[in-house]
Each structure stands twice: as structure tokens, then as C-alpha cells.
Structure 1
Amino acid sequence: MTTTYVIDGAGIHTPEDFWTALGEAVNGPGGYFGKGLDSLTDCLRGGFGTPDDGSYVFEWRDHAASRRALGHPGTARYLEGVFSRCHYTNRERVAEELARARAGRGPTLFDMLTGAFTDAAPAVLRLL
């Protein structure tokens, strides 16, 4: 039997909303399932609430609303936070990503999130 986790995209307006919705979909109220791209990848690879046998899917409902909210302006806000706490060896790369996001270019946070799903657990994400 496949377990389905539902992410309500209509309620996602910020990156924090996404992490909350994702954590609660998997692990209930106040649940955790990543708070950044690296931790999301770790969680998708197992041991953080999903079935060990990989029999699960995520349905990201109303993903178009999330795509808008996590577009370039939202990505810039996210990257500002990343920049403020990243290791000095990553500052130049993050600054370049931030400049692109502020200019409305490059991948959005939505793109990065869906890419993390695809890379870590192919075929578990359904955009509805």
C-alpha cells in the first residue's frame, strides 16, 4: 500500500510555510521533514517518517499558488537568509544566486524544491 502525503499549496506563501506544511504532512502537527534543501534531501532518502520501503508519494495540491509564492521575489528573500548564515566559502556563490533572483533570473525556490524531490526520490512528487 502506498502512503500519500498531501501538501496544500494554497497555504504556502513563504519558505517557512512550505517547511511547516511538509513536516505536518509527514509527521503531524509540529512535525519535521526538513528546513532547507539539504535536510529535505536527507529526509527524502529515508528515516524521517516516510515508509522504509519507499512506498509513498507526495501530492502537492494547488502547486501553481506555491510556484507563484516561491518565485523570484520569494527566492530572493530565502537566499538573503541563506547568505546571512552561510559559510564564508559559499558567500560568493550565494551572492550570485541572490543577484540572479533579484533580477528575476535563474531557478526559483519552487524549482529548487521540486528538483530536490526529483534528485533524492524520483517519482514521489505529484504536482496537482
Structure 2
Amino acid sequence: MTVTYVIDGSEVTGLERFWEVIGEAVNGAGGYFGRGLDSFADCLRGGMGTPDDGDFAIEWRDHDLSARALGHEETTRHLRGLLGRAHPSNLPRLRQELARAEAGVGPTLFDRLLEIIREETAPGTLRLR
């Protein structure tokens, strides 16, 4: 039986709030389901609250509101935060991504989250509503 985790897109006001919303959707109040893009991908692979057989769905309601909240402005903020702790070999790539986000072009955090969900779960797991 498929377990469905619901993300209320109207609750997602930025990346930090997304981590709280997805954590609570999967693991209840105060629940954890990643606090970074890499840890989120790890959690989607299993063992962090989802069924062992991988039979689950993520229903992202009002995803258009989340797309705005996790758009280029939030992507810019996130990338600026990464600059101070990134390995020097990653700085050129990060600076390039930051320049694109500041110009309002390129993938956003919302785009990246969708990409991670689609890469790490079975086809049809993500349901945008």
C-alpha cells in the first residue's frame, strides 16, 4: 500500500522552512528528512522514515507557491551562504551559479529539489498538485 507524504506548498516560505515541512510530512512534528540537498537525497533513498520497500508518493500541493518561495532570490541567498564554507576547487562553479541566480536565470532551488526527488525515487513518486 502506497504511503503518501503531503507537502503543503503554502507553508514553504524558503529553504529552511522546506526542510521543516518535509521532515514533518514524513516523520511527524519536529521530524527530520534532510537539512541540505545531499542529505535530502540520502533520506529519499530509504531508512529515514519512508517504507523499506520504497512504495511511497510525495504529493506537493500548491507547488507553484513553493516554486516562487524557492526561486532565484532564495537560490541566491543559499549560494551566498555556501561560498564561505565551500572547498576552493568548488568556488568557480559556485560563483558562476550565483551570478546566474542573481541575474534571474538558471535552475532554482525548487528545480533542484524536484530533480533530486525524481533521481532518487521511482517514476511517478512525485505528484505536483
Q: TM-score range by the shorter chain?
A: over 0.9
Q: Please report how far the alpha carbon of residue 84 of structure 1 lies from its aligned counterpart in structure 2 after TM superposition.
A: 2.1
C-alpha distance in 1 between matches for 2:83 and 2:126? 28
Q: Which consecutive unaligned segments of at least 5 residues does structure 1 have?
A: none
User: After superposition, where does 1:7-26 map in structure 2 within 5 Å?
Assistant: 7-26=7-26
Deviations 1:4-63 (A, max 9, x none): 101110011110010100011011111111111111111111111000001100111100
Equivalent residue number for residue 48 of structure 2 = 48
1:79 maps onto 2:68 in alignment:
no
Deviations 1:57-103 (A, max 9, x none): 01111000000111111110111112222222211111111110000
Equivalent residue number for residue 89 of structure 1 = 89
CA RMSD of aligned residues (A): 0.9
Q: Which consecutive unaligned segments of at least 5 residues does structure 2 have?
A: none
The ranges of structure 1 where at least 4 consecutive aligned residues each deviate by more than 2 angstroms after the TM superposition are none
Aligned residues: 128
Q: TM-score, normalised by structure 1?
A: 0.96
Q: TM-score, normalised by structure 2?
A: 0.95
The percentage of counterpart residues that share the same residue type is 58
Amino acid at match of 2:8: D
